[in-house]
Amino acid sequence: MSIEIRNVKKNFGDFSALNDVTLDVPSGELVALLGPSGCGKTTLLRIIAGLEAPDAGSIHFHGKDTTERDVRERQVGFVFQHYALFRHMTVFENVAFGLRVRPKETRPSDAEIKRRVHELLELVQLDWLADRYPPQLSGGQRQRIALARALAVEPKVLLLDEPFGALDAKVRKELRRWLRRLHDELHITSVFVTHDQEEALEVADRIVVMNKGKVEQIGTPQEVYDKPATAYVYNFLGHVNQFNSNVVKGEASIGGLNIKLDKENQQADGAALAFIRPHDIDVQRIKNGTAPAFEAKVNYIHAIGPLVRLELQQLGQDAVIEAELTQERFRELGLSTGEQVFIYPRNVRVFVDNTASA
């Protein structure tokens, strides 16, 4: 079932949580609402669920206006960040709850409930925990139970609010891959909220980047990462070195250098923000050729992991530039702190409209 969100607005007192949000979630897709805390993503999810009412605008499920419909009737599965399991019920009863509270006419028989619950517990690979109570489970197990509970009512739409936010890094990685596989099996229209760009890029079919109650960009992970629509999106998706810049006739001045802009990154003249990703920087010991380069001093070397992170201080400027080199390249250069080097930016992105800067 597709979800259409039309011009939704929501204020909490003076604070505008959602400012005219319009969005389509195609049927069967897994969509991530991505943004920093306070950007309105959770509010939007709660409005889709019917846990919160919009001040203006409407929500449609498969073309049908559901704005006025109660959460009980919307047939949505909602998964909370902190699981919200019923502590006094066993895992089995938690999952069975949605079936047991149905009116008598539509309530499945006990045998049928038992069958369905065990089927779901097998789906989340936790059938062996059926008789335990939620406080006896680990965080990852609780969240999988919460998901099974939400799926028990056969929702048309699955909504997940920072589902992995309270878990440690390793479990989080495991669970998000598992969620992706689960979605590929069930194909239920799903929306999940996250502030973790890595998570969104890895799991989602489509990412909605939000900022200050507005949608900044909608697109596939590839699109938003490779072709960020605004400076904000570029900044939010991954590490960046940020410079104040000025664009004149297709050339951007950055930290005293004039860098010619690519064809696809042409901007009108004016003040701009320029970004260089740390892995788009090459470091050389000697200046060669005519390509523009910063002169810098190596401040700090962090050589653990597959990538070596360098903190470089541009000479004569305050700017600190971060660069990432492969271990191979780093060994080849044989750098140590305090040395002087030349920095060659390989790829510079410039956004003239800097009102949306972070």
Binding site for another protein (CB under 8 A): 49, 51, 70-72, 76-78, 80, 82, 84-88, 97-98, 101-102, 132-136, 146, 149-150, 152-153
**Residue 52's Cα: distance from chain center in Å?**
22
Minimum Å gap between C-beta 135 and another protein is 4
| Smaller CB separation from another protein, 58 or 81 | 81
| Smaller CB separation from another protein, 150 or 209 | 150
Token couple for 269: 């003249």
| Smaller CB separation from another protein, 150 or 240 | 150
| Smaller CB separation from another protein, 153 or 352 | 153
Whole-angstrom distance, CA of residue 252 vs CA of residue 272? 8
Minimum Å gap between C-beta 156 and another protein is 12
Minimum Å gap between C-beta 88 and another protein is 4
Distance in Å from the first CA to the final CA of the chain? 35
Minimum Å gap between C-beta 80 and another protein is 5
Minimum Å gap between C-beta 98 and another protein is 4
Q: Nearest-CA neighbor of 258 among 240, 242, 274, 235?
A: 274
Q: Concatenated DSSP letters for 213-267? A: TEEEEEE-HHHHHHS-SSHHHHHHSS--EEEEEEEETTEEEETTEEEEPPGGG--
Whole-angstrom distance, CA of residue 281 vs CA of residue 301? 15
Looking up tokens 């938003």 gives 224
| Smaller CB separation from another protein, 150 or 273 | 150
